[in-house]
Structure 1
């Protein structure tokens, strides 16, 4: 990890600063929106708008990069982000905020595509996994740090909007001044959704549902915390708990997935996540219990993203793995767009407890569908000593651009090719 930090410190520092600003403004939306009198459903649409823009940006950014290059795209989108963040308190209307959130999601997605392709270009086959792990860890640390700043400010004023604008502006300086050469990038050749579904119905449905879970946890958690009456400091700690739990449980769950049937582990983690969410409905009166529940919820749900990637790849030919990444990003994005409005309607109907009930129902749907699929298809897992599936890449929480997913896919391709050269029949997993 030290070697990775030494070679990519500018990019890692820049993305850390960017995520502090992103984490701060993301949580601030729910708090300030409540102060301005926005309804729960309006706030859910504002949260969903971010993912709509993010999905569009991940598809269009490679075309912009191919046309004008990494540096210009990076600088332009960075300017947009800084201007957008500071614009929210100027026009405090739900429709205006939705438009700004679409633009913000689009711009941030483009920045991720640019930065991650840059990082991927500078990594070797031996360091790429460590590089992406470190990159995602820095993002998580930035998101947590952003919650600490939120706890120390006044959400009714301008300062908490100015700070992320400054941090975003500063974040691009070390990256743009770095001497690392810019990579070339080609447009993604996505696998059709039909082909991806035929290859792994459970993987596609699970990824769709998981998009709703992630969007619910991160777009609507500040709204939930505000509605149950948490103070600003308590709200920040509550949201941070989702990320801390993900950091702690990501590796142990990944380690287990390489030693047992991934499908069983996905069902177990989703089922436990559903039970934890139901506990949130019952134990919401206790702040300490809420912190524990949030940590377990994030820790059980976020690793499912990488688990599902690993599971889907167990049923793909080596040459199809990279092409499938575009479809996975798209499916997850659709779920992320649809999740907040549904959650907002549930919270408007039954109050704050609808937040946990939504998470429980979606994770329960993953569990039930996984159990059903176990009756329809044999597992790729045979025995521990003879398991030929490509190892789980313990890299990614459920937030990343198309390039992050493709980078993880490259690791799978490399691992699969190495296993094939050793005589393993990776490409002919049981279907």
Structure 2
């Protein structure tokens, strides 16, 4: 990766890191504040869903604004809206107002993601895009860890202090983008595939993206509620949420590398099975602080890695020229799953208690395992064709250069036969005939002294 490209990517990655510190803790803060105010899990679920509704709407429409005004101004607009929405949350502690503000915040946040992702994809060549996107994901998850750890410290400064700090971080994230050179990479417009077309093309990719949206949204919005129900303080809840995000950051690359070397459908099946086992372990095992932290670490690595593996599987099945449209469509499917998750799982938690979160996670894991296994039986992974190895004898020069041991042995044996025929006179050696022999002639090869003759000898 060139120094110029690294410097060009540094500013958007730094801006994303600053904004994501606050954004990573805002979902947890919203859930905990509504719960401490005495609102039901259904209300908490609907307010949490507003953010993901904004994500889905932004995934459909934000590209138009980006194409109209460019990367830097679009980033400034979206980050400013995030800051305003967060600061207003600190002023109006009302579920209806928070629903609207979280909707606006989700719409603006996905705009920030769109600016950063399109910037990195357009700025780098194909051979370095993987590394750029790896830096992008590391910045996201590292900021999430810092944000969760910051939550307890910010809470100790006052009720409105966390919202003020998150808003200030969103505003400060504009500075790196404003200080970079004015030349920005070009962005090509690409229309997403329709959800029906995506389902027909890659059912496994669609279901994996949808299931990932359900699981990740549940972790972000409802897991803090479960942890608080166990009696943990806000500071401890933030630490355990940081463990979840840390697992996502550290395990995503090994899981992705594993999926590159094996059948992705089988990897998805095993990840769904791990989700089931972790849910059963949290529900049934008597866990202490370290045991729960270990399972949450594995849960973060499995749940947050589900989406990239599903997208990788979809890319393996994608026709030529459809990768960009497919990725946009899967992002929309993922946002729809995230939107439905809190409103579907929170009523279950209201009926059976906070443990309903992991009952739902276990059922989701079983459903994913069953669906992925069925798809693998219907359409198994293609058998890799033996790779073509260029053979040197395919060219005239190569035929002269490629001297094998068999060729050498054959030449030695042929030379040995000729030496014997020359050493023993009058030894008949068959020669090919151009036509049938005449009745009165015997066509033979014979030697007289050192001279070889072909003709008749002793004709009758």
TM over 0.5: yes
1:65-76 alignment to 2 at 5 Å? 65-76=66-77
Matched residue, 2:45: 44
Matched residue, 1:397: none
Matched residue, 2:200: 198
Matched residue, 1:429: none
Matched residue, 1:108: 109
Q: Deviations over 1:8-37 (max 9, x none)?
A: 222221111101111122211111111222
CA RMSD of aligned residues (A): 2.0
Matched residue, 1:35: 36
Matched residue, 2:224: 222
Call closer, same or farther: CA 1:33–1:376 in 2, change over 3 Å. same
Q: Deviations over 1:132-190 (max 9, x none)?
A: 11111011111110111112132761111111111111111111111152233343311
Moved segments of 4+, more than 4 Å: 1-5
Matched residue, 2:434: none
Cα distance in 1, alignment partners of residues 97 and 364 from structure 2 = 30
Matched residue, 2:62: 61
Tell me by how many angstroms 1:2 deviates.
8.9
Residue 348 (1) aligns with residue 350 (2):
yes
Aligned partners of 1:346 and 1:354 also within 8 Å = yes
Matched residue, 2:370: 368
Matched residue, 1:393: none
Matched residue, 1:335: 337
Cα distance in 2, alignment partners of residues 326 and 9 from structure 1 = 24
Q: 1:234 aligned to 233, 236, 255, which one?
A: 236
Tell me by how many angstroms 1:215 deviates.
0.7
1:152-191 alignment to 2 at 5 Å? 152-154=153-155, 157-179=159-181, 181-191=183-193
Tell me by how many angstroms 1:374 deviates.
2.1
Call closer, same or farther: CA 1:244–1:284 in 2, change over 3 Å. farther
Cα distance in 2, alignment partners of residues 293 and 2 from structure 1 = 40
Cα distance in 2, alignment partners of residues 187 and 340 from structure 1 = 32
| DSSP-derived class of the 1:230 partner | coil
Tell me by how many angstroms 1:233 deviates.
2.1
Q: Which runs of 5+ in 1 are unaligned?
A: 388-431
Tell me by how many angstroms 1:381 deviates.
4.4
Q: Deviations over 1:249-293 (max 9, x none)?
A: 212222221222211111011111111112111247522222111
Aligned partners of 2:13 and 2:116 also within 8 Å = no
Tell me by how many angstroms 1:382 deviates.
4.2
Moved more, 202-211 or 103-112: 202-211
1:290-305 alignment to 2 at 5 Å? 290-305=292-307
Tell me by how many angstroms 1:362 deviates.
0.9
> Rg bigger for which structure?
2
Call closer, same or farther: CA 1:28–1:329 in 2, change over 3 Å. same
Aligned partners of 2:202 and 2:314 also within 8 Å = yes
1:281-320 alignment to 2 at 5 Å? 281-283=283-285, 286-320=288-322
Relative contact order, higher structure (CA 8 A, sep 6+): 1
Tell me by how many angstroms 1:125 deviates.
2.4
Cα distance in 1, alignment partners of residues 2 and 15 from structure 2 = 17
Under a length normalisation based on structure 2, what TM-score does the superposition of the two structures give? 0.80
Moved more, 126-135 or 313-322: 313-322
Q: Would you say how many aligned residue pairs link Structure 1 and Structure 2?
A: 386
